[in-house]
Amino acid sequence: MTTEPATILSMSGLAPEDVRLLRKLGETARAREVGAYVVGGVVRDLLLGGDVGDLDVVVEERAQDFVEAATREIGGTYKLYARFGTALLLPGGGVKVDVATARSETYAAPGALPDVEPGTISEDLVRRDFTLNAMAASILPDDFGRLVDLHHGREDLRDGVLRVLHEGSFTDDPTRVLRAVRFHARFGFSIEPTTEALLHQSAGSGALDTVSGERIMNELVLMLAETDPRPALLKLLTWNLTTAVRPCWTPGHAEVERLLAGLGPRTDGTRMTPLLALLVPVEPACRESVMDRLKAGRHLRDAVRDLGCYESRTAAALATERELSRSEIHGLLRHHSLEVLELATADNPGGRAAERIRLYTDELSKVSTLLTGADLLTIGFTEGLEVGSMLDELRRARLDGLVASRDDEMALARERLGRSGGGEAGT
């Protein structure tokens, strides 16, 4: 990479309107005689030549005072996050800028959130996770784009190395163990040997036990949001980090690898499916205990339970060599979650069960009756179960090609009504 530091903020990863906005913020900072910088992932991604996401700015004064002054000058609105002393600047046009006060941090206890004090940009950078995330670029008019790289982040970025800034980094914040996995997998970088040793030492000594389930879950969700989450998830296994989260969580690598390969880089439905792949090869009781540890939300918990239901009730029936009617396939799969169907397909993409699942998701799941519950009520069905079971029967008949038109459905419904001794009201 030959770009000179002074040109960082005009690199193509930033939209021209972002550059204009940063210049305006720089002018606000100059008028207030404070330092102001873009920091962290933005600088890293610019140096890597990629696109950057939302802008992160650090100012050497109270973020609140700075955003108030900035919005007076450039318009827009802001939100304050008093607890973190940060602000979200919304200058308009959908742009978001996170503004934080440069700060120094001390950790009262491993895994706890840090105690924060206002500080300088150098103090702010030294508390960060990895050298490649510990760079800043000034936005002041006189040195717009000047790189502040006190920890050789640029060199590590060039060499493709992930390195912590100091020995206590994983102890200060054990979620960094999981961040390391994510960056390592995303960029394909190597982990500097001391950093790797510290990571294993930290994970092996129970550092993650001090981290709340929500924070761990949050890191897993970030992994799942990667363009291809699979390398990071596999790394969790090879570094025994699932076991560090819950001792019983020791899935067989080969099975997880096979499932993830079957899923492909992205799944069609929700992004939780790749995480479920890590839970397939463990006992249901352990799955529950992992869910408890992660303080998993309802959706994930339900999907994990559904996995157990699929395994015990559906898998064998679906894979049978016997011919299954379309309505039978529908009946077997209709209550299963999308995640579980994706996983079951990934398990053996060329198998009979996968073929039936594809038929279900592409076609059968979209079949509905032409008659509605209201139509059934007008011909004399009673509300509730009776209507529900007749609609089910009509759908089965449609799936199996026994009825085609609305008249066919009506005829079948009337026949059932007659047989059950119901009235002929509404005819």
Fill in the per-residue mask, 114 to 133: x = in contact with ligand CTP (CB under 6 A), - = not in contact: --------------xx---x
In the bound state with ligand CTP, the residue whose beta carbon lies nearer, of 55 and 346, is: 55
Minimum distance from residue 180 beta carbon to ligand CTP (Å): 10
- Cα–Cα distance for residue pair 121/242, rounded to 1 Å: 35
Instruction: Give helix 338-347 / helix 253-263 axis angle, nearest 10°.
Output: 110
Minimum distance from residue 174 beta carbon to ligand CTP (Å): 9
Minimum distance from residue 260 beta carbon to ligand CTP (Å): 21
- Cα–Cα distance for residue pair 173/297, rounded to 1 Å: 24
Rounded to a whole number of angstroms, the CA Rg of the chain reads 29
Minimum distance from residue 42 beta carbon to ligand CTP (Å): 7
In the bound state with ligand CTP, the residue whose beta carbon lies nearer, of 173 and 328, is: 173
Minimum distance from residue 104 beta carbon to ligand CTP (Å): 13
Minimum distance from residue 244 beta carbon to ligand CTP (Å): 17
In the bound state with ligand CTP, the residue whose beta carbon lies nearer, of 133 and 337, is: 133
In the bound state with ligand CTP, the residue whose beta carbon lies nearer, of 84 and 190, is: 84
**Residue with the CB atom nearest ligand CTP in the bound state:** 41
Minimum distance from residue 287 beta carbon to ligand CTP (Å): 27
Site for ligand CTP in 62-121 (CB under 6 A): none
Other Cβ atoms within 10 Å of 163 Cβ, number = 24
Tokens for 340, please give them: 């579980």
Tokens for 34, please give them: 């404070």
Site for ligand CTP in 161-220 (CB under 6 A): 173, 175-176, 179
In the bound state with ligand CTP, the residue whose beta carbon lies nearer, of 111 and 262, is: 111
Count residues binding ligand CTP (CB under 6 A). 11
- Residue from 11, 25, 28, 40 in contact with ligand CTP (CB under 6 A): 40
In the bound state with ligand CTP, the residue whose beta carbon lies nearer, of 40 and 119, is: 40
Minimum distance from residue 58 beta carbon to ligand CTP (Å): 10
In the bound state with ligand CTP, the residue whose beta carbon lies nearer, of 179 and 235, is: 179
- Cα–Cα distance for residue pair 222/391, rounded to 1 Å: 42
In the bound state with ligand CTP, the residue whose beta carbon lies nearer, of 109 and 374, is: 109
In the bound state with ligand CTP, the residue whose beta carbon lies nearer, of 128 and 163, is: 128
Minimum distance from residue 7 beta carbon to ligand CTP (Å): 21
Q: Is 41 in the site for ligand CTP (CB under 6 A)?
A: yes
Give CA angle at 186 (260, 164), nearest 5°. 125
List residues near ligand CTP by CB under 6 A.
40-41, 56, 128-129, 133-134, 173, 175-176, 179
